[in-house]
Structures are given as C-alpha cells and as structure tokens.
Structure 1
C-alpha cells in the first residue's frame, strides 16, 4: 500500500488536524526555524510534540540498524513500555507524515479534539499492539481520505504515486513514567520505521 507524501508545512498539518477534529485555535502546528535559543524562543508555548522531517541516507540507515541492535542487546531503558504511549508501526509507504501527526496528537490527551474519526481511531488503538494499530490505519478510510486530500495541497510539486521519496517524518513527545511521577519527563522518539519507541532521556524543561 502506498500513499502520496504530505508536505512539511504547518498549513498542511493544521488543515489535516482540523479536518480530523483538532481545535487549531487552541493548539496548532508551527515551524521551528532552528535550535538556537533566539529561534526556539519564537516557538509558541507549551510545546506538546515535535514532528521532524529529515532525509534518509545510507549513513542514517546504518545508524538506525546499529541503534536497534544496541537496544535489543542491552535491554535497557531506551525502550519505552507499550502501555505508556500509542506507537504505530508504518506499513504504508509515504504515510510517515500522517503517522507523525497521529503520534503527536494521540499521546497528548490534554489537546482538545472533537469526537470523530481521530478520537475513534485513538480509542481503538489503546488496546492494540503497534502492528495491530498499523492494520487499523490501513483500513481507516476517513484518515486515508484526509491524507489524500492534503497530500495534493501545499507549495511543493506533487510527486507521482510510484516516485521514490527519501524524506521521513518522526515525532518526539514527552512521557512520564507513572511509577516515578516525581522524576522529570522523558523525551521519546516515535518513528514508525523503528521497532519500538526510543527513550532519549530526561527532559531539562517540559515547556
């Protein structure tokens, strides 16, 4: 199964989210222009998630494989338990944009979302495995239709359906361990091409 890719554009992302029930007057996606303090200061607060687009390279794929082996071998805290976050495996080509947005919204229950296709999908996901959630997404016509519609918008030329796209979206969210509520939130990477969520350690700030 293959979809057209979404453009990395706040207008496209907000239209996607609004179509599925997000009140973008209260919470919206915006550009992050850089990691310098003065540029980060321009980002509205609070920040619920970061959706990042980057190019896939041979070097990245090598590093991804090495990371997987290291985590599996060490069985350390870099793996987040399944019951703490909704993590969706990517089985649809070019669906990483929608999966990144789903990860951002599904793992932030304080974000106001009107009851509808998105809230229904998230509720179905709660008792499922990452692979079962991928199957739910494959069969979800409402989300597929919104993705297809918004993939035709934006400022970039729309690629053909069979064109190889070497760009990938991932999402970073904060996660609290219920067993240790006094500890700082953890920064967790949600990448549907990886086997599991990746815990990158404690956050210095939750803003």
Structure 2
C-alpha cells in the first residue's frame, strides 16, 4: 500500500467537502445537537447518520452484539466492508451510507466504479480494496490537520488510550442496519422503512450511549442529508439559502486552515516577541518569563482537576 491513513475530525464541513472531492453530488453532512427524531426530520431527505464514540479498546469481540443481531447474509445485498487499517473508519463510515444509497444519490463515476469492482468481494477483501484505493486515501488525508510532529503511520492503540471510532446507521432494503467495519457482519436493528428512519434510529443510539457512564459526554452525531441549498431554492427561502451559502464559505475557510502548517509563522512571531521583551531590559524579560511559567502551571493544574481528555482519534 502506498502510504498510511491519517486521522480526520468528526466535522460536518470536513465530511461534506471530502465526499464532494470524491465526486458525490448534492449531499452534505449536518451535526446533530439533540437525540430527537424531529431534528432529523427537519433536515429533509435523510440518507443515514454517522456516530462517533469512545471505543472500548480492551473489549473482546463477541459472537452476539450487545444490541440488534448480526445479519451475516446481508453483506450479499448491501455494501459492507471490514475495517482493515487504522484511521480509515471516518471515511469508511460515510461510504457505508453513500454506497448503499447509490440510485438515491449521485455518488459519481469514481465511487461507482469502486463499488462495482469491490461489490462482489467478501467484506474482508472489500476492506483491503478500500484501504488500498489511492484516490480515497489521498482525499481522506487531504483533510487531516497539518502537523510536522505526527507521523501518518501510528502505533496500535492500547487499553490506556482514548480511542474514538466512527460507525454508520442507515436503512437498506427496509431494514435498519448498523455498519461497523470492526464487527464481523452488518447488525440489523429490525424493520425500518426510509420514512421511519428518524424514529427507529434514535432509540438505538440512546441505548448505545446508555451503556457508558453518565460522565461520558464525548459523542458526536452527523446526519447525511440532501444538500440543504436544494430545498431552500425549491421553497424560495432566500434567508435559508443565504445561511447555507455562508456556512459553506466558513467550511472552506476552516478546511484551508486545517491544511496549513503554522509552525514557521508561530516561530517567527515568538522571535519578534522575545526581541521586543529583551529590548525592554532584563527585568522586564525575566518578569515575562516568570509570569508565563505561572500561567502554564495553573493551566496544567486546572486540567488535572478536570480529569483531562484524550485526543480524538479513529
């Protein structure tokens, strides 16, 4: 394989522009702030949801899922790929929704050819094919935060690490499926027409969250929906259209910042500050240093009191 996969953020702007670079048309992601079916319904045409949660690294795989049931035959009728490489689960989750909505969604030439090529493979080989796709990997990596200190090939997670994982939920063939590449098969949560998806998926998500301690709040939920500008144009809602266009511009700006390495800039800025302080004399310089040390110590103590938090990784 030519290169590794870097981590990407669970962010609506990242996921929206990622799928657009892969050739998907008229689809976007929206972050959900509540677990309410009405919030999902208000988004219009809904294709699925992507759920980010803390993965229990010490947990052993079971022959029976904690919720729902394995549908081992379903992989013959829908696109399900095993996750075979670290850090790819964000893109794998969004593809789990989109490749199962081909026909409802214009997934573009490249992804359609990928699906046709890998679709007849067993899940493990589909996962290997996805992991070795130069196009998908390069687009995925283009949304990673720029950092000169992080290698794109990272060590395997241990039980002491905070590890986060993406999975997908969508309705396929009138069934609600949980598509998690770390599981041996799609997980069925029962009958579910597309129109019933908001009402059926929320209880499943609530049960999953309920398995965590009440103090665990690090979850994120993104809805995969039709481009909201389409509905705004259809309704003639200029205010909503302007709001969506403004959001797109913000996403473009944020994604540009993610790709930029600010280390050189910060270094030059620090040189200028130090030069200015030295020009004020040794007393001013020493006071500045001591004040900075005191502030850093206080921030560290505050973090320890709050319990700290690990970096979000896939």
- Checking the alignment, whether the CA contact within 8 Å between 2:177 and 2:188 is kept in structure 1 is yes
> 2:185 and 2:170 mapped to 1: Cα distance?
14
Whole-angstrom distance in 2 between the partners of 1:187 and 1:94: 25
> In structure 2, what is the Cα distance between the partners aligned to 1:114 and 1:38?
30
Supply the distance in 1 between the matched residues of 2:101 and 2:41 (Cα, whole angstroms).
22
Match of 2:168 among 158, 167, 171: 171
> Residue 139 of structure 2 corresponds to which residue in structure 1?
146
Partner of 1:190: 179
Shift of residue 38 of structure 1? Answer: 5.0
Q: Deviations over 1:99-126 (max 9, x none)?
A: 101101100011012212x222111122
Q: TM-score, normalised by structure 2?
A: 0.53
Q: Which moved more, 1:29-38 or 1:97-106?
A: 29-38
RMSD: 2.8
| CA distance 1:38–1:200, shift in 2 (3 Å) | closer
Q: Is the 8 A contact 1:53 1:169 kept in 2?
A: yes
Q: Quickly say closer, same or farther: Cα 1:139–1:52, change in 2 above 3 A.
A: same
- Whole-angstrom distance in 2 between the partners of 1:58 and 1:135: 22
Partner residue of 1:83 out of 76, 91, 105: 76
Superimposed CA distance per residue, residues 26-59 of structure 1 (whole angstroms, 9 cap, x where no aligned partner)? 22111111113554454x1221111110001268
Alignment match, 2:50 = 51
Q: Secondary structure at the match of 1:100?
A: helix
Residue 122 (1) aligns with residue 124 (2): no
Alpha-carbon distance in structure 2 between the residues aligned to 1:91 and 1:77: 19
Pair 1:27 & 2:20 matched: no
1:150 aligned counterpart, secondary structure? coil
The runs of 5 or more residues in structure 2 that have no matched partner are 199-314
Aligned to 1:17: 19
Does 1:113 find its partner at 2:107?
yes
**Corresponding residue of 2:292:** none
Larger Rg: 2
Q: How many residues are matched?
A: 186
Deviation at 1:6, TM superposition (A): 1.6
The answer to whether the Cα contact below 8 Å between 2:53 and 2:164 also exists between their aligned partners in 1 is yes
Cα separation, 2, equivalents of 1:140 and 1:84:
22
Distance in 2 (alpha carbons) for counterparts of 1:168 and 1:21: 25
Which structure shows the bigger proportion of residues in helix conformation?
2
Contact 1:12/1:150 (<8 A) preserved: yes
Distance 2:67 2:37 in 1: 32
Separation in 1, partners of 2:49, 2:80: 15
Quote how far apart the aligned CAs of 1:17 are: 0.1
User: Does the CA-based 8 Å contact 1:34-1:40 persist in structure 2?
Assistant: no
